[in-house]
Amino acid sequence: MTGPEEWFESVASEHPRCFWLDGGGAREWSGRRSVIGHLADDDVSITFHAAAGEVRRHVGGRSTVVGDDVFEVLARELADGPSDAQWFGHLGYASRRDLPARPDPRLPDAVWMRPSVVRSFTHDVAPGPDSSPRPAEATATPPPVPDDYAAAFARVQAELHAGNTYEVNLTHRVTTRSPIRPALAYRRLRALNPAPYAGFLQHDVDEARAWLLSSSPERYALVTADRTCETKPIKGTTPRGATPEADEESRRRLASDPKFRAENLMIVDLLRNDLATVCAPGSVEVPALMQVESYASVHQLVSTVRGRLRDDVSTLQALRALFPAGSMTGAPKLRTMQVIDAVEATPRGAYAGAFGWLSADGRADLGVVIRSLMTAGDGEWTLGTGGGITVHSDVTDEWAEAAWKAERLLRVFDA
C-alpha cells in the first residue's frame, strides 16, 4: 500500500486544491491518523478576503461572492451540504470582522475546502523526536534588537503599566525568498519539526492562491461527538538543551519560572471565560494546568481547558467565540487586540489563526497556526514569530526567543 508521503507527492502535483492533515508527529492525545484529500473541478472551496470583506465560493472554475462573514458562510455550507460532509482549511487572524486585525495583503485570510476524495492513513508508533532533543540554535550572544521591535515593546510596556492589558502576545513577520516547491518544503518542515498539528494546505486558484505549511504543537479547539469543547493553550517556551543535564535544567526552569507560570495562568483564565460564554453552566474545567510537553527543539508549558457546549450553541458559534486563540492575543482579548493592532508593524495573515477540519455532524479539530510557513506560490515565503510580553519581560530576551523560534522553520530553505 502506498504510504502517506508518496501519495501526498502525487496529490500535490496533480490537484490544485488539496491538503494533508499529518498525524506523523502526533501525540497520544492527538492520534496518529493522517488524512490526505483533494478536490475535483466541481468540488467547492471558499476563501475569505478581509480587505474586500468578501467570502468567495470557488466551483467549476468560477468564483462568486457569497457573503462577508466566513463563519456564517461555513455554517450555511455545512447545513446545506451532505450530512457526512467534512471541510478542511484555515481561519486567518483577521477572520472575525468584528475584531481589530489587519487583512493579509497577499493571501486569502481564510481558505476552506470540501473534498470528494479523502484517504486516511495510520502512522506506526515510533519513539519520536522527544527522547532525542535537537536544540534550537540559540547563540551565546543574543541577536541585536531592531529599533522597530524595541519601540513596539516599549509601547506594550506602557500599556501594561497603565493597566490596559495584562499580557500582550507581540509578534512580527519574517519574509524570505526561495524557489522551493511547497510540497518539498513541507516534507522538509515535517522532518525538522514534527508536531501533532502538522499539515499542508494548497489552494492554487486564480486570485486566491495560498499555501499553508504547519508544524504546530498547539490545539485550538476539539469538539467531540458528545459536544465537549477542549482547548490546550501553550504559554511558556524554552529551547531544548544540548546535553541531558542542560535539557533537564531547561525543562525545570520552564515548569517553575514565575513569568512563564503567570503568562499561562492568565491565558487559562481568558479561555475559561471564553468557554463559559458557550458552555453549560458549571461544565468548564481545567483538567491539566501547566504541564511540560517536550518537542524536537523546545519544551512548552501547556494547560487544558474544556467544557460542554450548550444545546443552543453550534460548533461554528463556539469556534467563533474562542477566536482568535487567547494564547496568540493576551488578556483581556479585545483591549489587547487593539494594542496589537496599534503596535505590530506587519499583518499576521494565517499566523495566529486556526487550521484543521470541521464536520457536518458537529465535530471539529483545529490547531493554532504557529510554527508555520505561508506563500502565494510566487517564491516569497512568510512566517510569524513572537511571544507573550508581561511587565516582567526583557526586550533582549523576548527578541532572542522570537528569533530562535523562527530559526528552525527557516532551515527549510537551506540548500
Alpha-carbon distance of 24 to 124, in angstroms, equals 8
3-class secondary-structure state, position 414: coil
Tell which residue, 274, 393, 255, 254, has the closest CA to residue 329. 274
Q: What is the largest CA-CA distance in the chain?
A: 61
Query: In this structure, are residues 330 and 169 in contact, taking their beta carbons and an 8 Å threshold?
Result: yes
Alpha-carbon distance of 227 to 364, in angstroms, equals 10
C-alpha distances in angstroms, 206 versus 16, 107, 197, 210, 242?
Answer: 10, 11, 28, 10, 46
Concerning whether 235 is annotated as a catalytic residue, the answer is yes
C-alpha distances in angstroms, 272 versus 220, 303, 320?
Answer: 13, 11, 15
Q: Which of 77, 159, 167, 235 is catalytic?
A: 235
Concerning whether 344 is annotated as a catalytic residue, the answer is no
- Which residues, in sequence order, are bridge partners of residue 404? none
Q: List the grid coordinates of 354.
A: 486556526
Query: DSSP characters for 202-251?
Result: EE--TT--EEEEEEE--EEEEE-TT-EEEEE-EEEEEEPPSSHHHHHHHH
Q: Which of 218, 398, 401, 407 is catalytic?
A: 218
Number of H helices, E strands in the chain: 9, 21
- Residues with active-site annotation: 218, 235
